[in-house]
Amino acid sequence: MSSSVARRVLAAFQLPQGRAGVSKLTDRESEILDQFAAGHAAKHVSRLLAISYENVRCHHKSIYKKLQVNSVMQVVARANAASSARGPLLWPAKRRSR
């Protein structure tokens, strides 16, 4: 692999600096992100925010797309990188047994 290609690959996997991706989120998406960061499942989030499960899933997909991530761990890592302006977002808590 050439050095220019390697630089492009590395750049594609680096987290954006500051609030770059998180600032694109709507207020509702930020609320949902906070609930996911707290370790809540989508069904629980829908009950907490009094919205449908499908609505939460739609926001969930939108968050992933806007932040260009593929997992909750990546979402929380991206949000933690921007937490200085939003307040602390911690690693997802262990799920509570139901």
In tens, the pLDDT along 21-41 reads 567 889 999 899 889 888 889
Q: What range does the domain containing 39 cover?
A: 28-87
- The answer to whether the beta carbons of residues 37 and 76 sit under 8 Å apart is yes
The tally of domains found in the chain comes to 1
For 96, other C-beta atoms within 10 Å of its C-beta total 9
Residue 32 included in any domain: yes
- The confidence score (pLDDT) of residue 91 equals 47
Domain of 32, CATH number, reads 1.10.10.10
Q: Can you list the residues of the chain whose pLDDT is less than 50?
A: 17-19, 84-86, 88-92, 97-98
Torsion angle, alpha carbons of 15, 70, 64, 11, to 10: 30
Residue 65 included in any domain: yes
